[in-house]
Amino acid sequence: MSEPETHYLNDGWTLRSWLLTTDHKRIAWMYFATITAFFFIGGLAALLVRLELLTPAGDMVDSDTYNKLFSAHGIVMVWFFLVPSIPATMGNFLLPLMLGARDLAFPKLNLLSWYIFTLGGLFTMTAVIAGGVDTGWTFYTPYSTLFSNSAVVLAASGVFVVGFSSILTGLNFIVTTHKMRAPGLTWMRLPLFCWANYATSLIMVLATPVLSMALLLIVLERALGIGIFDPELGGDPLLFQHLFWFYSHPAVYIMILPGMGVVSEIITCFARRPIFGYTGMVISIMAIALFGFIVWGHHMFVAGQSLYAGILFSFFTFLVAVPSAIKTLNWTATLYGGRIRFTAPMIYALSFLGLFTIGGLTGVILASLAVDIHLHDTYFVTAHFHYIMVGGMVTAYLGGLHFWWPKITGKLYSGPWSIVAALALFIGFNLTFFPQFLLGFLGMPRRYHAYPEEFQLLHVMSTLGAGVLAVGYLLPMVYFGWSLWRGKPAGDNPWDATGLEWRTTSPPPKHNFVDTPTVTGRPYDYV
């Protein structure tokens, strides 16, 4: 097997050929580099939080610094890693390939999104350096508007700016999916990865602007003295929470749907079976995106929202569990009777399946009004959403990276080491976050840096787990780096997978396909 002579990576070596590129594959790399940097910045903040929590006394950092650390962790991880993670990297790289298109519909806009993203990142990083933000990632009023003495304006502006980057990416993906599909590629022949990114894009386009407005009002309140959330004028701080969660709950699905898309591709390939219930999978993807817009009030059960609103939001939240369960059961049914190969991508995908199930089921527990009064703002919630966002999305992100790495780079990586990394992630993750369910159930609240002594054992376990988890994240950096440098050529289709992206060379040529491919049947044609 050998590499093609010319491909998108050796088409120009200058810095200019990268920074001014409109090739979606190169822009994907630029996103990859940027969000990896943010991931390690956010990870560092998490590590400091975990180290502080080793002992019951708040002795390593003072409470102000601790507030700034967990805020930095949340803000960076949510907006600068998780939201762009799969769409901006693998989505950017693969969507045109999977659709049989030569690029996204608006290549220049795609490049612009990256610049906007980086600009927003600079704002937020400046805020962190200029003294940090202590509001948590949610910027709740009136604390963020009237009381906090930290760099709220800068940080919120950064998140505001970065919102436009995800809006533009979403817009680009939607138009591309509608207008650029290869001949014969009807909607019901689309790979689930495309459907997942399509649904994510809809959320990005329709929910992000509401967050932008909420953040803009905070910035205006702090900078100009406009008091829309100021109770003294008759304003309602709770209104901010409504606006915030109108975006940020759908954003939770921005942070899981693309992962579901990735896992669907991996599981079918390594079970050698077509996906079970393709139509049901498509409907449930769209249903999750839709229901995501009507459940935001479950973040506000104890915030003084009316009981009737609470009951409705609780009901709708239970409803989201239905399409999620359909997906989980369909993946399991796909495995049934399959010829399973335990490669690294498959181990990540199976980890996703287990961790997402735990995260989802604990979500149902939290959606119950009465139970939530006990569990609200405890470590139970922290553990729940980390099971979805890290156990789900980050695991899927790494799984997808391992799955498509040979396509993206044209090189193979170390099989055994990648399996070690995938297992380290699974073990480290559970060791970190399972104890947090117990902590929360026993009553340990979130966002405190000192705690009673009886919680110490569980906190020590959690911190040890974070160490194992860190190994799981750092190892791939090593063998992926090695693979870039010394990796064996991968060939066009090392996994023997279906899908248009595997029909072109690895790495793909600049315009993706020599001849526009034609599609004649449903995806996942495995026998």
Partner 1 sequence: MSDTVTIASHFEDAEQQREAGLMGMWLFLATELMLFAGLFGAFGIYRGLHGEAFAEAARHLDLPLASINTAILLTSGLTMALAERSVQAGLIVVARRWIVATVALGAVFLVIKGYEWHHEFAEGLMPLLGLPFDYDGSHPAQAELFFDFYFAMTGLHALHMLVGLGALAVLWVLGRPQPGPRADRYIRQMRITGMYWAFVDVVWVFVFTSLYLLRS
Q: Using CB under 8 A as the criterion, which residues of the chain lie in contact with partner 1 when the complex forms?
A: 101-107, 109, 167, 171-172, 174-176, 178-180, 205-210, 212-214, 217, 220, 224-228, 230, 232-236, 239, 243, 246, 511, 516
Distance in Å, CB of 105 to partner 1, minimum: 4
Residue 203 Cβ vs partner 1, minimum distance, rounded to whole Å: 11
Tell me the closest approach of the beta carbon of residue 493 to partner 1, in angstroms: 24
Find the shortest distance in angstroms from Cβ 107 to partner 1: 7
In the numeric block, the tokens 């709220």 are attached to: 152
Of 447 and 511, the one with the shorter C-beta distance to partner 1 is 511
In the complex with partner 1, which residue's Cβ is closer, 167 or 470? Answer: 167
Taking the complex as a whole, the smallest distance from the CB of residue 231 to partner 1 amounts, in Å, to 10
- The answer to whether the beta carbons of residues 97 and 492 sit under 8 Å apart is no
For the bound state, the minimum distance from the C-beta of residue 319 to partner 1, rounded and expressed in Å, comes to: 23
Residue number with CB closer to partner 1 (206 or 369): 206
Q: CA–CA distance from 100 to each of 25, 78, 404 (Å)?
A: 14, 31, 16
Least distance from partner 1 to the Cβ atom of residue 208, Å: 7
CA dist 474 and 36 (Å) reads 11
Pick 167 or 192: Cβ nearer partner 1: 167
A 10 A CB-CB count for 107 gives 17
Of the pair 141, 395, the CB lying nearest partner 1 is at 141
- Residue found by looking up tokens 């822009």 in the block: 27
Q: Nearest Cα to 147, choosing from 237, 243, 256, 271?
A: 237
Whose tokens are 């405190």? That residue is 448
- To partner 1, the closest distance from the beta carbon of 185 in angstroms equals 13
d(CA 10, CA 260): 32
DSSP for 263-328? HHHHHHHHHTSPPTTHHHHHHHHHHHHHHGGG-GGGG-TTTT--HHHHHHHHHHHHHHHHHHHHHH
Q: Which C-beta is closer to partner 1: that of 227 or that of 354? A: 227
Query: Nearer to partner 1 by C-beta: 51 or 239?
Result: 239
Beta-carbon contacts of residue 28 (< 8 Å; ≥ 6 apart): 88, 89, 90, 92, 93, 408
Both ends of the chain: CA-CA distance in Å? 25
Closest by Cα among 147, 116, 119, 120 to 133: 147
CB count in 10 Å sphere of residue 233? 10
Distance CA 517, CA 101 (A): 9
Q: 211 vs 353, which CB is nearer to partner 1?
A: 211
Secondary-structure breakdown of the chain: helix, strand, coil percentages, each rounded to the nearest 5: 70, 0, 30
Helix (H, G, I), strand (E, B) or coil at 83: coil
Residue 147 has a CB neighbour count (10 Å cut-off) of 11
Tokens for 283? 């409907």
Q: Which is nearer to partner 1, 109 or 283 (CB)?
A: 109
Identify residue 141 by its one-letter amino acid code. Answer: T
Backbone angles phi and psi of 378, in degrees to 5 = -110, 175
Hey, what are 216's tokens?
């803009």
Cα angle vertex 70, ends 65, 74, to 5°? Answer: 145
- Paired residues of 378 in beta bridges: 445
**Which one-letter amino acid corresponds to residue 85?**
S
- Cβ proximity to partner 1: between 69 and 174 the closer is 174
The least distance separating partner 1 from the CB of residue 180, rounded to whole angstroms, comes to 7
Counting Cβ atoms within 10 Å, is residue 346 exposed (0-12), middle (13-18) or buried (19+)?
Answer: buried
DSSP secondary structure, 350-376, as one string? HHHHHHHHHHHHHHHHHHSHHHHHHHT
Shortest approach of partner 1 to residue 106 CB, angstroms? 6
CB of 436 to partner 1, least distance (A): 33
Single out the residue of 331, 272, 344, 261 nearest to residue 95, CA to CA: 261
Considering the complex, state which of residue 83 and residue 326 has its C-beta at the smaller distance from partner 1: 83
If the CB atoms of residues 109 and 364 are measured against partner 1, the closer one turns out to be 109
Smallest distance from the beta carbon of 171 to partner 1, in angstroms? Answer: 5
Q: With respect to partner 1, which residue has the nearer C-beta, 204 or 458?
A: 204
Q: Least Å distance between CB 510 and partner 1?
A: 10
